[in-house]
């Protein structure tokens, strides 16, 4: 068996025996799969406006920190949020309130979406005053919002 045959045989065996998430489309091993999460290249997907609205509804119903309950809820917002991981929901919630450390919000159940907006505005004002508000990456940035609108959700 020559090198080309051995390589093709290895690819076929990988496709048969390996979990699909560790393979590239051509049957080669995706080396990035084995990196710790913080070192993996971002395969960032973006929350559409409808996803943010669904998350706000879920936060009102379940409160911050109950990410899995939000995903399995049978109401329309739960159906919309099922596509996102718990980590995605937590990161999006950070964006909704404009705070990198969401720990202080765990357990908080806002009365309505306006309470979330009020919290965002307060955190934004504090961040701008301290020079820590990252307006380049925040979804309120109009240029980022326009580019995200072009992303498939």
Amino acid 97: pLDDT:
92
Q: Is residue 141 part of a domain?
A: yes
Tokens of 87: 């980590």
Question: Residues near 131 by Cβ (< 8 Å), separated by ≥ 6?
Answer: none
Q: Indicate whether 60 and 10 sit together in one domain.
A: no
Q: Is residue 34 part of a domain?
A: yes
DSSP-derived 3-state class of residue 27: coil
Res. 22: pLDDT tops 90: no
Q: What is the pLDDT of residue 37?
A: 67
DSSP class of 29: B
Better-predicted residue by pLDDT, 146 or 127: 127
Are 86 and 113 members of one domain? yes
Q: State the Cα angle at 65 between 55 and 110, rounded to 5°.
A: 60
pLDDT digits (tens, 9 = 90+) for 78-131: 888 998 889 989 989 998 998 888 899 999 999 999 999 999 999 989 988 988
């Amino acid at each position: 068996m020559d090198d080309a045959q051995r390589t093709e045989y290895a690819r076929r065996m990988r496709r048969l025996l390996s979990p699909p998430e560790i393979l590239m489309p051509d049957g080669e091993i995706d080396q990035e799969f084995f990196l710790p999460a913080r070192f993996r290249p971002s395969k960032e997907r973006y929350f559409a406006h409808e996803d943010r609205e669904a998350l706000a509804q879920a936060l009102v119903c379940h409160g911050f920190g109950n990410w899995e309950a939000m995903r399995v809820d049978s109401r329309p917002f739960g159906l919309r949020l099922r596509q996102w991981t718990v980590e995605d929901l937590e990161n999006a919630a950070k964006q909704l309130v404009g705070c990198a450390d969401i720990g202080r919000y765990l357990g908080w159940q806002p009365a309505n979406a306006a309470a979330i907006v009020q919290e965002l505005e307060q955190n934004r004002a504090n961040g701008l005053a301290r020079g820590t508000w990252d307006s380049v990456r925040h979804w309120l940035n109009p240029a980022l919002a326009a580019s995200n609108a072009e992303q498939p959700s």
